[in-house]
Amino acid sequence: MKKLFFSLFWFIFVSTISAQKNIILLIGDGMGTTQFFTLIEAKKDNAIEQFTHVGFQKTSSANAFVTESAAAATALATGKKTNNNYVSIDPETKQPLKTLVQLGNAKGLSTGVVVTCDITHATPAAFLAHSIHRRNYEDIAESMLNTHPTLFIGGGRDRFEKRKDNRSLSDSLKKQGFQVLYTLDDILKTQNPKVAGLLFDVHPESMVNGRGEFLKPASEKAIELLNQNSKGFFLMIESSQIDWICHDNRFDDLIPELIDFDNTIHAVLDFAKKDGNTLVIVTGDHETGGLSVLKRQEDVMFSRFTTFDHSPVMVPVFAFGPGAETFSGIYENTEIQKKIRKLLDL
Ligand code: MG
Ligand code: ZN
């Protein structure tokens, strides 16, 4: 009997100290090494240089050397490569693949997604939904009713409320216990973590067009709400528009977007340092624009884009916190999800 009590005590002790509580994955859409370098050069007090471990991920999709964001996010969310434009759908069986949000829920963790785009856009969609094509925005909104995240914050209100089928998916969300909120102020005021934040009809503005402070306060609030769960949480934060600006080869407009992302990373790192039980991962889903930085005169960087599309080059992965060392090395994008599962015991 004594022996049994001892083993029970030991089991609880070990599982408590070895349990990875929280993982926050930050994705800069379209960020390869040069975009991260640009951020580092543009912001001397950047958060990126505080990360302790760095690796590289290979981003090709199941059917293409050059991926797009749905297939890339599917790899990150499900640990399986799929065809370009598929949203967390298996390329062979055409069946839905379980995402980190679903796997986290099944283990009793809180789960969340915060983005600077329509919440049904490719990257968040791969964590929150399943669809055979990324452009099926209204179907993706409907599919989001089946994955039960604790919270999500972004744009895309029209996908839920101005639909071709005239249904209100916001009513369906409310029936599932969500508060459907339309302003950042309302989100910042709530203490109830079940938040469906639909803050923009479709996408928010870019930073140069006046988005202002959104990603950082929304992410900080998401952390506060998810952290109410003592079992831990998984949160994905995306700076979505870096990719779009690189598609347009607008280097000057890229910098404010990168600084906004870095401010958010800074806030997340501050939380992780205080908490001590949170792993922070920062990466891109692929590189966009084939960007090079050529020289710098005073504060002006001279750059060149080589394509309006994505490029296939490896993308850096920065990690900080318990388990960070497992992100060193060179690996396929699907390994990131597998490492997260292992650390969270999903
Ligand atoms: Mg994206
Ligand atoms: Zn793109």
For residue 10, how far is its CA from the centre of ligand 2 (angstroms)?
50
Question: Considering the entire predicted model, what is its pTM?
Answer: 0.94
For residue 17, how far is its CA from the centre of ligand 1 (angstroms)?
35
Query: What average pLDDT does the structure give for the chain?
Result: 95
Tell me the ligand closest to 284's alpha carbon: 1
Q: Provide the pLDDT for residue 309.
A: 98
Q: Provide the pLDDT for residue 208.
A: 98
For residue 28, how far is its CA from the centre of ligand 2 (angstroms)?
11
Q: Which residue has the tokens 């800074």?
A: 266
CB distance 218 to 263 below 8 Å: no
For residue 274, how far is its CA from the centre of ligand 2 (angstroms)?
35
Q: What is the pLDDT along the chain (346 residues), one digit of tens a residue?
A: 555 566 665 555 545 554 559 999 999 999 999 999 999 999 999 999 999 999 999 999 999 999 999 999 999 999 999 999 999 999 999 999 999 999 999 999 999 999 999 999 999 999 999 999 999 999 999 999 999 999 999 999 999 999 999 999 999 999 999 999 999 999 999 999 999 999 999 999 999 999 999 999 999 999 999 999 999 999 999 999 999 999 999 999 999 999 999 999 999 999 999 999 999 999 999 999 999 999 999 989 999 999 999 999 999 999 999 999 999 999 999 999 999 999 999 9
For residue 93, how far is its CA from the centre of ligand 2 (angstroms)?
26
Tell me the ligand closest to 154's alpha carbon: 1
Return d(Cα 25, Cα 14) in angstroms, integer: 26
For residue 289, how far is its CA from the centre of ligand 2 (angstroms)?
9
Query: pLDDT for 15-59, tens place per residue?
Result: 555 455 999 999 999 999 999 999 999 999 999 999 999 999 999
Work out the angle at residue 146's Cα, subtended by the Cα atoms of residues 193 and 181, and round it to the nearest 5 degrees: 35
List the one residue out of 192, 166, 167 whose CA is nearest residue 180. 192
Q: Provide the pLDDT for residue 9.
A: 59
Tell me the ligand closest to 309's alpha carbon: 2
Query: pLDDT for 320-335, tens place per residue?
Result: 999 999 999 999 999 9
Tell me the ligand closest to 72's alpha carbon: 1
CB distance 59 to 81 below 8 Å: no
For residue 54, how far is its CA from the centre of ligand 1 (angstroms)?
22
For residue 105, how far is its CA from the centre of ligand 2 (angstroms)?
29
